Copies of this chain bind each other. A is one copy, B any other.
């Protein structure tokens, strides 16, 4: 096989894998863990069962791949916001976005399923830890605060716990107005209590 023939074939394989991962994320977010099987995902991706099983031989392999894919999506999202100055309430809206999109909904389905499934828990533990670290680092960066100041680390964590709680509430009954009021009031509180470094 020449290099010219090998390259497009590798590209096609990469595209198929990518489509499967995107479909798996959607399935998790929309249908939940118990309905996310390799067969269902292959169908949603418009990929043959055989091709799907070539990439992901088991449901566990598929979920492991999807977890990496979720971390990557999150990193890309964060990179898009780095260095952009934001008001406190804009930062809170951005952080809330982390706990409301398809990545969060998919992760939530996995987390809740894992609460009743030890094998799944071992598989997704690292995902939970990474998403948490990513969100924390982004909150510190965007709020422009130093964690060396007393109480700052805990206040940043409380902020992330707050938006996580809002994300869970939004899962069933999305109430934009209530959330807007809570976030604006929270922004005022943060502006009062957080010693900003005003790096920008």
Contacts and interface: CB of A to CB of B under 8 A. Distances in A.
A158 B164 contact: no
Number of copies: 2
Given A128-B173, A165-B164, A112 B109 contact: yes
A172 B34 contact: no
Contacts of A182: 154, 157-158, 161
Contacts of A113: 32
Q: Per DSSP, are chain A's interface residues mostly helix, strand or loop, or mixed? A: helix
A56 interface: no
A171 B30 contact: no
Interface stretch (A8-16, A83-91, A187-195): A187-195
A172 B121 contact: yes
Interface string A166-182: 11110111000010011
A115 B166 contact: no
Interchain residue pairs A-B with the least CB separation, the first 10:
A165-B165, A164-B165, A154-B185, A161-B165, A32-B116, A112-B112, A162-B162, A34-B34, A154-B181, A161-B166
